Structure 1
Amino acid sequence: MSQPGGFEQQPTSHVCRLNKSLYGLKQALRAWNEKFTTFLPSLGFKPSYADPSLFVLISGSSKVYLLLYVDDIIITGNSENLIGEVKSSLQAEFDMSDLGPLHFFLGLEIKYMKNGDVFVSQQKYASEVIHKTGLDSCHSQITPCQSGLKLIKDMGQQLDKQDSAHFRSIVGCLQYLTFTRPDIAYSVNLVCQFMHCPTYTHLNAAKRILRYIKGTLDYGIWFRRGQTTKKFSLSPIKMDAYCDADWAGDPNDRKSTTGFVILLEGTPVSWCSKKQTAVSRSSTEAEYRSMADTTSEVKWLLHLMQDLHIEVLDKPTLHCDNISALALATNPVFHSKLKHIEVDVHFTRDQVKAGTIKLKFVGSKEQLADLFTKGLCSPQHRYLCDSLKLVSHLQAEEGYYENKV
């Protein structure tokens, strides 16, 4: 064993000794999970193939969903009676407490509005991160990074050992914050690429993200209830996906950045900003690779919806702003200029042919995935955040989105 990089202490031959794990038992987490997951089938639950922590119980028209994370459990469904039976069975088998409606889960804050909408944020966690880094009295920023920002690995003076550990701590906290803040996904992905050898320029970029969060502490994702009914509904839903790529955007290795966001009924449920594994020879190729990654995520979400017994309305629509990439995904002719591309990248073309998804062109100004591939100016950044229903809790209560539309 060895000490983790960036946290070495003298003498370096020493490592941390684990005195007690969860509940004081060795392999307690594994034992608990195995015990719990073997008991659930006796109640009629079936595990989801798409998500091993999700279990579904179907009894006639009644449906109950159970989500397990270590010893934290979320139970929901469309039948209060069946949910009550499940709770009673679990409490008879395990020492469990019913904490009532979900308000706080793994750092996520859930707030319920009068009209039935749900607002999910990480305000408390974000406040703790800002306090931890000593930026309580800092000035806020209107964007998480400068427009068109490019960071170079040797840019600026290298951080000393203490500041390097501080930088890694900040970035680690920011990564967890992206669960409800898609607006910082690109900026956090950018600074994450310099964990091994950070400089003061990289540290300043990370602190700018914190200053942006300081001014948007109460921001979160607004999940709007369907307009047709005020009851728990499992009616068919609409799925849309947006993908984009910043061709050769990384000046260090000239790799492109993939960005995508997937929406259910207009609300983002999955997003990503990551650097592609291979260098693309053209913007079309970079977009084509981005489409493959997005299609893969859409396919997984379709499997998840199937496990949840929720029907997706029509075929999911994949929006792309590159006409050439759209043509390659729909044209069965193999172009000679794409012979070097790996076979798995043609996954999108196969799914289009199979009828799993459909493609649609979208203008660059309406490309929601732009938020995940580059630093944007303030007006465009705010416009895309509004389009993704990323607003404050107060704005959601006042119907901010309806007013903007």
Structure 2
Amino acid sequence: MTDLGPLNYFLSISATHTTSGIFLSQTKYATEILERAQMFNCNPCRTLVDTEKKLGPEGSPVTDPILYRSLAGALQYLTFTLPDLSYTVQQLCLYMHDPREPHLNAMKCVVRTTAGSIILILVFLGDNLLTWSSKRQDTLSPSSAESEYRRVANAIAGTSWICNLLRELHTPLFTATLVYCDNVSAVYMSANPVQHQRTKHIEIDIHFVRDKVAAGHVRVLHVPSRFQYADIFTKGLPYPLFTDFRSSLSVRKSPTPTAGAY
């Protein structure tokens, strides 16, 4: 094996190291996408998606479906350093088999947004805390509280595995893992063992959540909808809320002039 030194540029991703963390950017790659779409001098667009309506199969077929698929794949790779584009790009990829004019117009909007996002980078800070947000429901449950509680249990199971791995690597965590949930009943159930009517259908094997909470290893906190940062991956958002949630992903402007050098 050959030691190539600190990571600088790999697979169209530029890495800049500072004392506070690592800054990743895909400026050169984003510029190539604009050139491929022949939109290099386009005006940047602030809004990614129309929040009033969703894309559907309607519309006239595009004249160049190969270009559509090429741009969709390129934008998908760009989400590595711009995860805030993930939801919209995923929606565009749903119609790669039969792209229509409304899909192409939506893609042009994403490309225009990319033009305004070239200066943005993804930041990995050295003092990041381990957090895990429960998002999706994998199984059907009789009540919303029960399904939310199951999602909390799945999140805690995942973070517990990571904590055990870090402990084996002699890097234990000394603070409680924070798990956020937007269901008040599920938050109460994680700390209160007397919830018979709400928990009578829940299997015993997911009640380890209460043990973790009681031991101080986990804290289950309620998060209001306006702080539900996972929504940036699951729905179209108004611009103010979108920019607020994007900052929570550590996507921000580069503090160094060298981050976009490649």
- Matches of 2:158 and 2:76, distance apart in 1: 20
Which residue is equivalent to 1:177?
78
Give the 5 Å matches for 1:299-338. 299=160, 301-302=162-163, 304-306=165-167, 308-327=169-188
- Matches of 1:364 and 1:193, distance apart in 2: 27
Which residue is equivalent to 1:361?
222
Which residue is equivalent to 1:241?
132
The counterpart of 1:140, out of the listed 25, 30, 44, is 44
Which residue is equivalent to 2:61?
158
Cα deviation for residue 136 of structure 1 reads 0.8
2:14 corresponds to 1:109: yes
- 1:214-236 Cα distance to aligned partner (Å, 9 max, x none): 1011212223344xxxxxxxxxx
For the residue of structure 2 that corresponds to 1:171, the secondary structure is helix
- Matches of 1:159 and 1:124, distance apart in 2: 27
Q: 1:291 to 1:393 in 2, by over 3 A?
A: same
- 1:331-372 Cα distance to aligned partner (Å, 9 max, x none): 666768996x9x7xx98x445135164311022222222222
Cα deviation for residue 164 of structure 1 reads 2.4
Cα deviation for residue 201 of structure 1 reads 1.5
TM-score by length of 2: 0.78
Cα deviation for residue 291 of structure 1 reads 4.1
For the residue of structure 2 that corresponds to 1:394, the secondary structure is coil
- Matches of 1:216 and 1:377, distance apart in 2: 17
Q: How many residues align?
A: 253
Give the 5 Å matches for 1:256-271. 258=136
Q: 1:311 to 1:395 in 2, by over 3 A?
A: same
The counterpart of 1:208, out of the listed 98, 102, 109, is 109
Q: 1:302 to 1:378 in 2, by over 3 A?
A: same
Q: 1:390 to 1:351 in 2, by over 3 A?
A: farther
- Matches of 2:243 and 2:11, distance apart in 1: 28
**Alignment RMSD:** 3.5
Indicate if the aligned counterparts of 1:316 and 1:357 stay in contact, CA closer than 8 A: yes
Cα deviation for residue 300 of structure 1 reads 5.1
- 1:131-185 Cα distance to aligned partner (Å, 9 max, x none): 2222212221113223354222x2222335xx32222222212222222212112
- 1:36-86 Cα distance to aligned partner (Å, 9 max, x none): xxxxxxxxxxxxxxxxxxxxxxxxxxxxxxxxxxxxxxxxxxxxxxxxxxx
- Matches of 2:116 and 2:139, distance apart in 1: 37
For the residue of structure 2 that corresponds to 1:381, the secondary structure is helix
- Matches of 1:139 and 1:321, distance apart in 2: 38
Pick the structure with more helix per residue.
2
Q: Which has the larger radius of gyration?
A: 1
- Matches of 1:243 and 1:364, distance apart in 2: 13
For the residue of structure 1 that corresponds to 2:23, the secondary structure is strand
The counterpart of 1:125, out of the listed 29, 42, 52, is 29
Q: 1:185 to 1:290 in 2, by over 3 A?
A: farther
Which residue is equivalent to 1:99?
4
- Matches of 1:306 and 1:357, distance apart in 2: 16
The residue type paired with residue 5 of structure 2 is G
For the residue of structure 2 that corresponds to 1:382, the secondary structure is helix
For the residue of structure 2 that corresponds to 1:214, the secondary structure is helix
TM-score by length of 1: 0.53
Q: 1:277 to 1:392 in 2, by over 3 A?
A: same
- Matches of 2:93 and 2:146, distance apart in 1: 25
Cα deviation for residue 206 of structure 1 reads 2.3
Cα deviation for residue 117 of structure 1 reads 3.0
Identity over aligned residues, as a percent?
32
Q: 1:331 to 1:172 in 2, by over 3 A?
A: farther
* Structure 2: 5+ residue stretches without partners: none
